[in-house]
Amino acid sequence: MMVIRPIQQSDLDSLYRLAEKTGIGFTSLVADTDILQAKIDAAIRSFAKENVSKPANEDYLMVLEDTETGDIVGTTGLLAAVGLDEPFYSYHLGTITHASRELGVHNIMPTLILNNDFTGVSEICTLFLEEGYRHSKNGQLLSKSRFMFMAQYPERFTDKIFAEMRGVCDENGVSPLWESLGRHFFSIDFDRADELTSLGSKQFIAELMPSNPVYVNLLSAEAKAVLGQVHKNTVPARRLLEQEGFRYENYVDIFDGGPTLEARVQDIRAVRESRLYLANIGQPKSTDQGNYYIVANTKVKDFRCILIQRPTAPNSAIVLSQDEADTLCIVNKDPVRIVELSPN
């Protein structure tokens, strides 16, 4: 069985192994033992917090575990509020009009404007699944399990949430937007800028990035083409978020031009449609046919989330097998939160 759970201290080696596979542009998970240990420590502190009334600097990092082998094969996370300790930068695609009555010219020019508009906003992040497990709806469980946690504990997050998607770069780590724009101001390679950001060093952005609007028409054709586009490996993740109600609102990453998707929490399908049910532990009529459902317990520190299959939708209660209940860390008559895996 596959289960989502909070990361633990014993997961460091597995987390490092996954980080080695993410590639350039995946700044939230880098193969650096000290950074990964700090992320684990922050997650453990975050899940241990009780009576949280508003989001702060919590980092809820979770993993996907194969209970049959004990292997950690994926990661997924939530940041309660970004930009509180240091600025969070993005570009907004806007327009500037240049007009001359004398010449009869009226030009609308697309621009990139540096901003901190997402300061204090919650973020979903760190979604990565090992290639050998990209089947059996594991990716959907990994992505949507975060919404179950948010639905149960809305006070821990802001009303709006966003996801910064990985942008386009080639197998050598060359980003068209960086080559056309960023390199002129930073005089370093894209992977080095990416590394500095992943290490938490962002002061250089404020020091070197132009604060004036950048005219998109002055960029190369290759750079213009990737604005708002995702890396080929990120296409499924974007599709899942858009199915849940996330939308692209013309914000892009300042380095690779990847899109930022955003949504109001109450508009996210899995949040809006999830419901609490009582768990009856017994023998389900069938576990290999019908619709798929995400099931999560209602705990924080011991949060668990799994995927089940049932021929009929739950009513006021749901029958779970003993194995399913044990994996969820619940006993008979405990509440569980359930939502159908995919939109109708």
In the residue annotation, 231 being an active-site residue is answered as yes
Residues sharing a CB contact under 8 Å with residue 66, sequence separation 6 or more, in sequence order: 1, 2, 73, 133
User: How far is it, in rounded angstroms, from Cα 300 to Cα 7?
Assistant: 12
Place of tokens 């997924």: 76
Strand positions, DSSP E, 105-233: 105-115, 122-129, 160-164, 214-215
Judge contact between 321 and 287, C-beta under 8 A: yes
Q: Dihedral (C-alpha) 23, 64, 243, 263: value to the nearest 10 degrees?
A: -80
CA Rg value for the chain: 22
Q: Which of 232, 243, 274, 293 lies closest to 25 in space, CA to CA?
A: 232
196 forms beta bridges with none
Q: Which of left, alpha, beta for 115 (phi over 0: left; psi -120 to 50: alpha)?
A: beta
Place of tokens 């899940």: 47
Given 92, 106, 135, 231, the catalytic residue: 231
Q: Catalytic residues, which ones?
A: 231
